[in-house]
Chain A
């Protein structure tokens, strides 16, 4: 009897590993190994062709003296500080507007979701045209209300903000989808009870709806921040870091270093520094969030 049990258990181990093996193998080879290798690389000097040589902490010391690195991090900070509040707040407002039962609401919702599905490259190409300083739609519309004309992607001061506008357009639908689901998850009795208790529309929103959206809002802030610091595709295509280096962001810088200039070891170090920055930011956000957000049971 004991042998039978042992046999059965053994077959569970075999079965478990057999099932899990393909996925685990792929993830280990293409996910875990690179994580470790990247750390190793960061202590080396490599041009991706010749064998690498060890340089210890040289790469990590280098980035403190690298003006491009500093610039890219500042740009990342500015971009994130603008992108996250804008997309989350506007996302919430649009979700509230979309949480209605009026005629045609399906079309409004579809219209808001569509930009999320459009690829980053296609988005960048569209906005290169919309923001064209000479023939673009944006300057024409802004001119109608007495603003502009602006250089957008061609202006050293305005390029980063143009990227913000473009990416908010592209990603706000994501926030809207999540907020909308959360709004629809609020039990109607809570709203009814608040109504009976005497709250008006704004009172209900402030005292019932917003607090219950706390967890979701925190999640979106963390998620958007992480994605903001990973900005690459749109910048690559629209400005390639320019004009000059006014839109240089960390991942773009890293890409150029490793794959265009063959400075892979340093690039790996930068990748880890960026990762550390993201980690710290996330932890800070979660700590602040835990204090402010009350999770409903």
Chain B
């Protein structure tokens, strides 16, 4: 019996591994009427993105064309290099990458430690502190942004990547999620390890974490997605172009190039592409992560 039936179901949902169905249906395998429903849905989802790519390869005049042209007469890949000269996209990409990777690693480490403590170690004040953490989960972001800004400013971190990294190195969500997961593991394994001479830290790193692959991957993905796409917090704390994240930079680019639609679309494609590729490559973890972030409620 799986330890994580819900996570497994979500994984199946994400990877498209089909569930068993009554065999009668298989006779319509070659042409199922469901295709007639699914094709328009898929098209609606994908069409805006496809058109974004098409536009990114057009000349400025072509974008001004109405009715819109779908096939550009020439593939203006130059738009992309133009964008890179107009704005430090490379720099923004690197900034986002640094911030995201550090935040993900920080969460994995600190939330594992704390999650394990809350799950398995009886310590003074554990229940009270845990409730306090849950409270922070319930209070929405807009309530805390102003004071958080003031705190970060008093630490001298405004307009630096530190402002984006430090406050997010550990989140209550990660602690909560890993605590719940650790509790589903059979405690006998850890007890056997301790009898065999392992320290608490050793148990965590040698026994528990190796068994927590799916949960850690899920947390990594959620954190990655949330951090990479974050906009409001960088908007408040960063103002010099060389420290901007990709989303913030893209927004300023949009402000400056509102009428250069082809360049704007090229910039957009470049922003979307990395996450899209990562998603296609690791779809099952993304799906699990997205859904788990919801199931905590």
Contacts and interface: CB of A to CB of B under 8 A. Distances in A.
Interface in B186-241: 200, 204, 225, 228-229, 231-232, 235-236
B254 A181 contact: no
Contact of B272 (A116, A119, A134): A119
A241 interface: no
Interface in B80-114: 109-111, 113-114
Contacts of B271: 119, 121-122
Contact of B68 (A27, A38, A135): A135
A20 B264 contact: no
A188 B45 contact: no
Given A20-B129, A34-B147, A129-B55, A278 B140 contact: yes
Nearest to A103: B29
A13 B45 CA distance: 52
A17 interface: yes
B185 interface: no
Given A100-B32, A184-B19, A169 B48 contact: yes
Given A181-B13, A251-B142, A22 B147 contact: no
Interface residues of B, number: 111
A114 interface: yes
B99 to A, nearest CB: 14
Q: Counting chain A CB atoms within 10 Å of each CB, which of B63, B68, B225 scores highest?
A: B68
A215 B104 CA distance: 31
Contacts of A268: 143, 146-147
A108 B32 CA distance: 14
A223 B132 contact: no
Contacts of B279: 113-114, 117
Among B113, B142, B150, the most chain A Cβ lie within 10 Å of the Cβ of: B142
A107 B47 CA distance: 14
A26 interface: yes
Contacts of A128: 254
A34 B279 CA distance: 34
A111 B254 CA distance: 26
Contacts of B12: 181, 184
A24 B133 contact: yes
Contacts of A113: 14, 279, 283, 286-287, 290
When A and B form their complex, which 5 residue pairs have the shortest distance between CB atoms, in order from nearest? A16-B123, A106-B16, A23-B114, A34-B144, A37-B147
